[in-house]
Structure formats: structure tokens, C-alpha cells
Amino acid sequence: MGEAFVWRSPAGIWLGMNQSAPVGQPQRVERYAGLTLPPGIPVTHETLPRIARDGLDIIIGRPARCWGASMGANEAGVAGSVIRADNRWHFRSSLLKEDLLRLALMQATSAKAAVGLVSLYVERFARSGRRSMEPAVFTFADGEAIWVMETRGRAWWAQSVGHFTALTGAPAWSGDARLHSANADEASRPACLPAAMERRQRALARGLAHVINHHETGDFTLLANILRGDISEHWQHQDDAICRHGSLWHRETANSFLALLTPGERPQLWFTGSSRPCISLFKPVSWDAEPWFSRHMHFWENWRKAVRLAQRSPVIRERLIRLHAELEGQWPRFLQEDINVVIRLEQWWNAVIQILKQAP
């Protein structure tokens, strides 16, 4: 499960996503170099053929249980995300939606090409019946185009997005699809979102509309706050909040992701790499900074303590929020001046430790 949004802003195209997972299950933030792909690519439970010969560099958020990705981007400037289309229980399938997202990012040089790759794999390898791949909603964007895609069994539908959209499940749009498979039947698409998904979709759209209406140029911190559930400084703490905690004890947001896409450039990426985006830091990820990825797991493993203390102490929570707001406001300058982000993250972690020591 999860939620995503895309927005065509004056600064470029933004894609944001929260991905949920069982409590305590990590989502790795990993980088993979582009190499010549083998004829058969081993994914979580199967081996699937390559479509392109040469793979692309990718940075992804990978759920610990699988080979695939729930979010990420490639060096060609394509970013993507995938969420469940509904909240119903489905039989386990050998083909996972996360595997298809990673395969698309490894091989696609445009958002529309990513849609084409997923459609090929779905039509050729997805199963029908009870063991079919769970229904999914994919979002792909590059510096010029935005595409949203629904899959259900061996059928798929795809629609381009003009300005912005917020996604929590299917249907991802109303009306007919611009592209679809030969076996696609519009009647098999859901008529409306489940109630809980619809509430989160409205909250996500409300936050995005606030940013668009009041901050037209687009600002990283404001967009990060949408994923935190902070709309115009009003935090949502109800069970269906975007931050995804409260009495949802069995699942939590495991990772949050923001990508800024501009034509001809590598994507600018930020990941929390941790649960609780409401108190987490969105960390910029450099395409060439290998030490970042080795430190990421250290931060995640120790962040659980910060979450527990913040749950018990409002003072700790507010201090973490202030610390992160201050640092995130400095990211644009750090990135422009090529300041070593890894060193700055070490300083941040030392500051977090000092805050935790002040816990009552």
C-alpha cells in the first residue's frame, strides 16, 4: 500500500511517494550500476527476459522482502512508483508489481517507454485467475511527461497526466484510458476508491492544491510536508493520515521519496529511508556518493529509538521537527555549492543523538 502524487511545476516535474510496510520491516535505499543485462533477469520468484540490452544506473527504495522496487529513478531521467490498487487480500503471485517497476527503471529512457515495458511483461507473464499479480497502480514521469498506469491480471490501462494528480489506488483517473491492452474491459476497473483510500486521496490532493495555489514555483520542503501530512501547518493525526500511523499498528510508512525531473538532467532525489515521515529527514541522494548508501542502514537501524522516544515525548518530537526543517532549508545551497552531503548527514545524526539524550 502507499500513496503518490505528481505535479508539473515551473521548476520541473515532481513525483512524491510514501510506501507502507509491516511495522519494523525496512526498505533499503540502494544504487545499482547500469550493466549489460543477461538474457534472463532473476527477479524475486521468477526469471524474466530482458527487453533492452544495456541497463541503466538506478537508485531505488527496495522492500526487504523482494528484488523489486516500490519507488526510484534512473540516470536517464525517469522516476517511478507503484502502489496497490485496492486494499483487498489477494493470493500470493510469483510475479510482483515491485519487480516490474524495477525492470522498467533498469531499461526505460522515457516515462512512456516505461509504460510500454510494464505492459509487455504484464501481457506475456502475468497470470489470470486467483494467482494473478495483485492489481497495481504505476506512476512514471520524466522531464516532459507524466503517465499513470493500472494493471489487473493480464489487462492494463494507461493515461497521461497534464498538470497534477494524487494517487492512493484504483481507479487512478475517471473516464476512458488513452492506452490499454487488447483484453482490457473498462467494466473490470473499479467504479470508485475504497473509503479509506478515498479519504487519503482527498488529503493528499488537498496538500498538493495548497502548494500549487500558494507556492507556484514549487519548494522542496513544502512538497515533503505533503508526504508528512502537514497541510498549511495543520498536522493530521487521524488513522487515515498521510503519514500513516495512529491506530494502524500493523503497517507504517517504511520510506518516503521525492524526485524532481528536468529535461536532459539526472533526477534530483530525496529519501527518508525510515518510518514516520512526520519526524524524519528527507535526505538528498547523490548519484556518485557511495558512502551515503553504507551509512543509510546505520541511520535506519538506530532511528527506531528516535521513533519510540518521539511517540512518548512531544518535546523530543518538536525538537526533531525543528532540526529537520532547518537542515532541509539548507539542502538547495549545499547541493549548489557541492558541499559533502555525507559529512553533513553525520553532523545531523550527532545532533539527533544529542536530542535523544534529553529525553525525560
pLDDT of residue 164: 92
Q: What is the mean pLDDT of each run of 10 residues along the chain (360 residues)?
A: 90 92 79 91 93 94 92 97 81 85 97 97 79 86 97 93 91 86 86 85 87 75 84 46 58 87 93 84 80 67 76 84 85 68 81 84
Query: End-to-end alpha-carbon separation of the chain, Å?
Result: 35
Domains of the chain: 2-288 (3.60.60.10)
pLDDT, position 339: 62
Beta carbons of 170 and 188 less than 8 angstroms apart: no
* Residue 90 confidence (pLDDT): 63
- Coil, helix or strand at residue 220: helix
The predicted model scores a pTM of 0.91
Three cell numbers written together for 359: 529525553
pLDDT at 238: 46
The alpha carbon torsion through 295, 298, 299, 304 (nearest 10 deg) reads 170
- The confidence score (pLDDT) of residue 292 equals 67
pLDDT at 338: 60
User: Residue 155: enclosing H or E segment and its boundaries?
Assistant: strand 155-160
Per-residue confidence (pLDDT) for residue 341, from 0 to 100: 72
Q: Which grid coordinates belong to 3? A: 500513496
